[in-house]
Structure 1
Amino acid sequence: MIRRLIIYLLLMGAASSSAAELSPYAANKALQANQFAQEERFIDAIRVLEETQLTRAYDKAYLARMLGVFYWQNEQLQPAIQSLSDAVNSGELQEEQEWTTRRMLADLLLMDHQYQPALPHYYQLTKQVPKDQKAHELWLRIGQVHYQLQQWKKTLEAMAHYQHFQLPDQVTPLSITLGAQLQLEYWSAAIDTLKRLITLEPSKSNWWLQLVSLELRTGRQKEALSSLSLAKLQGVELSPQELRLLAQLYAQNGIPVRAAQLLEQLLATNSDLELVTECATYWQRAKEWDKAIESWSIAAKKDRQYYWNVALLQSQKGEYKQALASLDHVTDRQRQPEVALARARALYKLNQLDDALAQAKKAHHLSPSRESQGWVDYLTQLRAINARQTS
Structure 2
Amino acid sequence: MHKITKSLMLFASIALVQLPTSYDVQAAEQKSEKPKRKTQLVGQSVGKKIGKAFELYTADDVQGALTTLLEINAKKDYDKAYLARFIANMYATLGEPQKAIDYLKQAVEPDILNESDHGDALKLLADLQMQEQAYADALKNYEAWMDFTGKSDGDTWVKISNAQYQLKRLDKMITPADNAIAAYGDKHNKNPYLLKLTSYYERKKYKDAVEVLETAVQLFPTEKAFWTQLGNFYLLTEDYKRGMATLDLAYKQGFLEKESHLKTLASLYSQNNIPHKAARILEKHINSGEIKRDDQNLFSLANAYHAAQEIDTAAKYFSELAKMTNESKHYAKLGTLLAQDEQFKKAIVALNKALDLGASNKGRLNMSLAEAHFYLGQYKQAYAAVKLAEKDPKTRKSARGWVTYIKDTAQRKGKAI
TM tier, smaller: 0.7 to 0.9
**How far apart in 2 are the matches of 1:311 and 1:42?**
79
Counterpart amino acid of 2:130? L
**How far apart in 1 are the matches of 2:410 and 2:92?**
106
Structure 2: runs of 5 or more not aligned? 20-37
Shift of the 275–19 alpha-carbon distance from structure 1 to 2, 3 Å rule, reads: closer
- Give the one of 161, 167, 180 matched to 1:143: 161
Say whether residues 1:292 and 2:311 are aligned partners: no
2:390 alignment partner in structure 1: 364
- Give the one of 60, 63, 67 matched to 2:87: 67
Q: Does the 8 Å contact 1:267/1:275 carry over to 2?
A: no
**How far apart in 2 are the matches of 1:359 and 1:68?**
91
Counterpart amino acid of 2:283? E
Say whether residues 1:15 and 2:17 are aligned partners: yes
Shift of the 16–256 alpha-carbon distance from structure 1 to 2, 3 Å rule, reads: same
1:337 alignment partner in structure 2: 363
TM-score by length of 1: 0.78
Task: Provide Cα deviations, 1:39-67, integer angstroms capped at 9, x if missing partner.
Answer: 55545544554444343323322333333
- Give the one of 216, 228, 244 matched to 1:225: 244
Counterpart amino acid of 1:335? N
Counterpart amino acid of 1:56? K
Say whether residues 1:261 and 2:280 are aligned partners: yes
Say whether residues 1:303 and 2:322 are aligned partners: no
Structure 1: runs of 5 or more not aligned? none
**How far apart in 1 are the matches of 2:4 and 2:300?**
61
Between 364-373 and 99-108, report the one with greater CA deviation.
Answer: 364-373
Give matches, 1:1-391, under 5 Å. Answer: 6-12=5-11, 14-16=16-18, 22-43=42-63, 45-130=65-150, 135-165=153-183, 166-194=185-213, 196=216, 200=220, 202=222, 204=224, 206-236=225-255, 238-265=257-284, 266=286, 272-301=294-323, 302-320=326-344, 323-324=347-348, 326-331=350-355, 332=358, 334-346=360-372, 360=386, 362-367=388-393, 371-372=397-398, 375=401, 379=405
**How far apart in 2 are the matches of 1:291 and 1:384?**
34
Identity %: 24
Greater relative contact order structure (CA < 8 Å, 6+ sep) = 2
Shift of the 242–11 alpha-carbon distance from structure 1 to 2, 3 Å rule, reads: same
Q: In proportion to residue count, which structure has more helix?
A: 1
Deviation at 1:95, TM superposition (A): 4.3
**How far apart in 1 are the matches of 2:63 and 2:343?**
92
Q: Does the 8 Å contact 1:280/1:295 carry over to 2?
A: yes
Q: Does the 8 Å contact 1:36/1:44 carry over to 2?
A: yes
**How far apart in 2 are the matches of 1:217 and 1:251?**
18
**How far apart in 2 are the matches of 1:373 and 1:118?**
81
Shift of the 152–368 alpha-carbon distance from structure 1 to 2, 3 Å rule, reads: closer
Shift of the 288–333 alpha-carbon distance from structure 1 to 2, 3 Å rule, reads: closer
Counterpart amino acid of 1:372? S
Please tell me the root mean square deviation across aligned C-alpha atoms, in Å. Answer: 4.0
**How far apart in 1 are the matches of 2:191 and 2:368?**
64
Shift of the 189–27 alpha-carbon distance from structure 1 to 2, 3 Å rule, reads: same
SS of corresponding position for 1:127 = helix
**How far apart in 1 are the matches of 2:71 and 2:343?**
102
Counterpart amino acid of 2:140? P
2:30 alignment partner in structure 1: none
Task: Provide Cα deviations, 1:147-174, integer angstroms capped at 9, x if missing partner.
Answer: 3333322222321222232343223333
Number of matched pairs:
382
Q: Does the 8 Å contact 1:198/1:207 carry over to 2?
A: no
Q: Does the 8 Å contact 1:300/1:306 carry over to 2?
A: yes
